[in-house]
Amino acid sequence: MTPEQELYRANRAKEVLDNEIYIEAFAAIEQELTDQWKSSPARDAEGREKLWLMQALLGKIKVSLEATMASGTVAKDQLRHKQTLIENATSWLQSR
């Protein structure tokens, strides 16, 4: 993937993570899973395991978006470095 593509993806991930509807939905789902787990009978090990898996998956989604957003920082630095090299080369060629 090119740095430009990574930066694009990072910006889209940031839009999702900063979106108030996403934040509300994520928090509501997380709270619902926690409430269901707390109110589940101790003998329902299978149900509690499923709730735990759902909670873990929810966390993985958030981590994936955050990792995509973080990779954009690296891509942005790469693009900035590339631009600096081009500017330096252009300046050098013009001074000759």
- pLDDT score for 78: 81
Residues in the chain: 96
Q: What is the pLDDT of residue 80?
A: 84
**pLDDT of amino acid 93:** 80
Other beta carbons within 10 angstroms of residue 90's beta carbon come to 10
pLDDT score of 87 more than 80: no
Between residues 32 and 90, the one the model is more confident about: 32
List, in sequence order, the alpha helices (H) in the chain.
Answer: 3-18, 20-39, 45-95
Residues 24-63: tens digit of each pLDDT:
999 999 999 999 999 999 899 999 999 999 999 999 999 9
> 36, 51 in Cβ contact below 8 A?
yes
Residue 10 has pLDDT above 80, yes or no: yes
pLDDT for the residue numbered 36: 95
Token pair recorded at residue 71: 């990779």
Gap between the Cα atoms of 41 and 50, Å rounded:
13
